[in-house]
Chains A and B, each alone.
Chain A
Amino acid sequence: MKVLYYPGCSLKTVAESFERSAKLAMAALGVELVELERWNCCGTVSALTTDDLMHQLAPIRNLIRVQEAGEERLVTLCAMCYNTLKRADLWVAQHPEELAKINAFLDEEPDYRGKVRVLHLLELLRDELGFATVKERVVRPLTGLRVIPYYGCLLLRPREVGLDSAENPRILEDLIVALGAEPVDTPYKTQCCGSYHTTTHKEIVAKRAHAILSSAREHGGEVLISSCPLCSFNLDNRQRLVRELYDGFAPVPVLYFTELLGLALGLDPQAWISEQHYVDPRPLLEEHQLLKR
């Protein structure tokens, strides 16, 4: 099966391990991720004021590209891209008169007809392949690995674009179980990491990261999984600052959920793990004998 997918800027740079592991793992499941042509940055955050058409242009232009490719659905990996693209799509569906304005402005493009469905890769795994199928394909069950599922904000909120319950999501837990690992519940799994404050208020981000990661450790978690390059940066790279600010903090490796998937499917993690991880996950993977093929 071929699926059109939208990488987003960060997957081409700081989060290459996300893209690489996703492509390899999906290929092992028989799904080829085909990159959308001429995509542009979605804008990362949604326009939230009623009159802000300008910031709807970027996501809508991407949906026009999907239309041009003759497809009706677009799969995203980054949670922020997912949210932004999906919200924009929903917004123009609810505001046809605003869509008409956007189409008139984008006069160099064909009109957007509102027929594209934005999906997150997790939804594709759950709803189209099915976690039962994923489980059958597991060749190296991650037995004994205690994984903290971290949702953050944008996979779940607002409700109308969330891919699972905003209060009690299960999708990451179900994936973790399908891979043979053990999900670890923490009250922080749907709490914000501090997002773009990492540009101006690092200490706020460090405080969030400290709370989220310490709670994960207390509940026995060994590794945290994320689906967003910004969550990962804030929870992984910012651990340097967390260690400076908080005594006795024990580091926690952070992986993308696709890396975990790849491991369970028996892939060699050297194909994607890079220096981009701040807390080196390799010792933990070694300990669980997951590094060897």
Chain B
Amino acid sequence: METVRIYIMGKEYSVPAGLTVMKAMEYAGYKFIRGAGCRAGFCGACGTVYRKEDEYKLRFAVACQKLVEDGMYLVQLPFAPAPRASYDLEKIRPSDNVLLKFYPEIARCVACNTCTKSCPQEIQVMDYIQAALRGDIRRVAELSFDCIQCGLCSMRCPADIKHYHVAQLARRLYGKYLAPKAEHLAQRVAEIEQGKFNAELDRLTRMERKELTKLYEARQIEEGVGV
């Protein structure tokens, strides 16, 4: 079995090559009580910081996705202390100053780009903070779309900015007030409310399990969509 050397909080372990950082740590005997969730690169719970023996750069990843490399010095960052501002989405509006109002610390950004360099999702984090500063909510929402809220950027920022909360507020405002509304959706909701599908739904809920399974298997599958 091919193995690699890794260092977990300074202690050396030899682990099989090809494992993710998360699996390698479990292999080494660590148990994840916090700092793991979906194990699929979506929830952002497993932020990891590492340096390689032969590099000066600090690097960032999510532990459930990153494969171990020889000579990695690792530490987990399961939590970033960053309380979210409290707001009522119904009562706020996508005004120029709304992001600055809830997160005034964005005014401290020095454009060092450290956040972008820390992002495991390769998001242009500095650019979305800059867009937030000038009230461009749409751009923040677009740029931050892939954010998994791991908090690595916020742990590195010299200006103490809580990037992912700013981005989340922007996406919420965008979704509620700015994104074009899908007409077919509104139409369908109206149809549902008028009871157009009641009879069919009624029939389905009364169906035997066997019959239902048959129906499910015979359902129309869009071309190109994997099962």
Contacts and interface: CB of A to CB of B under 8 A. Distances in A.
Direct contact of A and B (CB under 8 A): yes
A12 B111 CA distance: 18
Contacts of A13: 96-97, 134-135
Contacts of A55: 110
Nearest to A14: B96
Given A9-B134, A13-B135, A38-B127, A58 B97 contact: no
B136 A43 contact: no
Interface residues of B, number: 17
B133 A9 contact: yes
A54 B112 contact: yes
A39 to B, nearest CB: 8
A54 B158 CA distance: 10
B98 to A, nearest CB: 11
Interface residues of chain A: helix, strand, loop or mixed (majority): loop
Interface residues of chain B: helix, strand, loop or mixed (majority): loop
A138 B117 CA distance: 51
A61 B134 contact: no
Contacts of B65: none
Contact of A40 (B96, B97, B117, B126): B126
B130 A40 contact: yes
B111 A61 contact: yes
Given A57-B112, A58-B111, A41 B117 contact: no
Given A38-B127, A40-B126, A54-B158, A12 B134 contact: yes
Contacts of B127: 38, 40
A108 B117 contact: yes
Interface string B181-195: 000000000000000
A106 interface: yes
Given A40-B130, A41-B134, A55-B110, 10 more contacts: A12-B96, A13-B97, A14-B96, A41-B130, A43-B110, A43-B111, A54-B158, A57-B111, A57-B112, A105-B112
14 contacts: A9-B135, A12-B134, A12-B136, A13-B97, A13-B134, A40-B109, A40-B127, A40-B130, A41-B111, A41-B130, A54-B110, A54-B112, A54-B158, A58-B111
Interface of B: 96-97, 109-113, 116-117, 126-127, 130, 133-136, 158
